[in-house]
A and B are shown apart, each in its own frame.
Chain A
């Protein structure tokens, strides 16, 4: 899989929205190489795995090396920061849920440890 290209596309999408300038795109292309995971927005504390990742593997996000604590299937998510119980989880730079328990950097994040931030029964 050409992860690099996919990563570029995501930034291209974000850029496409506001600029569509080829210069900005090329700069992103040069910067974003060899990553296993996709961080869509600066604000995000969750990243998406572009391939299945094994427990103990190291991923690099914003120059920081993170050891992955569990096996994570392709397209599922990993926390890139410690997230305390009840705190907000971000993807696309937007709220996608809140932590059901303390989540550690490198943890697999899914329905077992986060939930919608909306309470529909209220």
Chain B
């Protein structure tokens, strides 16, 4: 099956052609946003971190920022740093340049303040935008697609209708040679034994189980009870009672394919080893989607029982619900109604096909509702203190 998109220098294919204005730290986020507002086709991300972080938090942030810029939906990148922050603009630039795509870096301290940085940044960005505008779409195989699987604001219909529908679509993509990413480590608690049994390599299975244990241990060490935050009040109102019940529904998004491997949060998905992956991330939707996009997902499918507007700055997010009431209530936000399984007796394989067809259209350029409304939520998984 063929898709039309943008060929990148490293042989990967994007389904969108964004110019990313990347703030190296929170101190540069506002300036980056102002540059993006000046240039058509440019998008900035609201980075809340990037300074005074150590260990895994530092690495998570670097991987996320580099991963966003390397995502094939991004055609070129301008990094805006403050100058003195922990994550240096030129360090990001070196790593992003490995992809071969155009990347430039400026800092506010070097340019001499906000006004001069905006002026210089806008000049660079506008030139990059003109170059991106010259790019024509080319045909490529669907096996180049990486799909991120997300669920949030779940209710019992998520596990019964929308997540199994996503599972059918994900299985089909994997069968066609593409890749899918299941994430949200918190939301596999109670279903980890079922997922662990599906890894091709037993070593990956062990790594996966360690990731789950680490979340439980982190919660216990903090003296807090994970059950206070999971399920959320909305999950409970919808009818989900425990984290196990929520997890057992969540895992259906991954269909029945074997797992090819595990990824750290925002770790780049290997180009030469396609298939279904598990990525370590929190259950919080925005951080989870951000991590999968940084891993290389060009498109996200997001199932919701309660309804959510979430998008991503550089990847289309297709919203699906298993609850017809929610679909009708939030029709401005939700693209596809798997609640038809309940209300119209549509079969699961047919519903899966409908979602897959929509995904292909979106890959070919059709806007999702989140895109048309300009939803660009962004958040980086944070584990510990900022120092």
* Chain A complexes with chain B: yes
Instruction: Identify the A interface with B (CB < 8 A).
Output: 1-6, 8-10, 12-13, 16-17, 38, 48, 50, 73-77, 91-92, 94-97, 109-111, 114-118, 120-122
1/0 per residue, CB under 8 A from A, across B155-166: the answer is: 111011100100
B207 to chain A, nearest CB (A): 21
B343 touches A38 (CB 8 A): no
> Given A2-B345, A97-B242, 15 other A-B contacts at CB below 8 A?
A1-B342, A2-B344, A5-B344, A6-B160, A9-B348, A10-B160, A48-B156, A48-B239, A77-B239, A91-B248, A92-B248, A116-B190, A117-B190, A118-B227, A121-B223
Instruction: Report if B370 contacts A (CB, 8 A).
Output: no
B236 touches A111 (CB 8 A): yes
Cα distance A75–B241 in the bound complex, in angstroms: 11
How many residues of chain B are within 8 Å of chain A by beta carbon? 39
Contacts of A16 in B (CB 8 A): 348-349
Cα distance A60–B137 in the bound complex, in angstroms: 57
A17 touches B348 (CB 8 A): no
A110-B239 CB under 8 A given contacts A9-B161, A48-B160, A122-B220: yes
A60 to chain B, nearest CB (A): 19
Name the contact of B159 in the complex, choosing from A2, A8, A92, A111 (C-beta under 8 A).
Answer: A92
104-131 of chain B: CB within 8 A of chain A: none
Contacts of A118 in B (CB 8 A): 189-190, 216, 227, 243-244
B223 touches A95 (CB 8 A): no
A6 touches B341 (CB 8 A): yes
Cα distance A14–B347 in the bound complex, in angstroms: 13
Could you write out 19 A-B pairs with CB less than 8 Å apart?
Answer: A2-B343, A9-B342, A9-B345, A9-B347, A12-B347, A48-B156, A74-B239, A75-B157, A75-B323, A77-B239, A94-B248, A96-B244, A109-B241, A111-B236, A116-B243, A116-B244, A118-B190, A120-B219, A121-B220
1/0 per residue, CB under 8 A from A, across B162-190: the answer is: 00100000000000000000000000011
| Chain B, residue nearest A10 (CB) | B160
A75 touches B348 (CB 8 A): no
Contacts of B343 in A (CB 8 A): 1-2
B160 touches A97 (CB 8 A): no
A95 touches B244 (CB 8 A): yes
Cα distance A116–B247 in the bound complex, in angstroms: 11
A110 touches B341 (CB 8 A): no
A75-B223 CB under 8 A given contacts A9-B161, A92-B248: no
A97 touches B244 (CB 8 A): yes
Instruction: Report if B245 contacts A (CB, 8 A).
Output: yes
A75 touches B225 (CB 8 A): no
Cα distance A2–B347 in the bound complex, in angstroms: 12
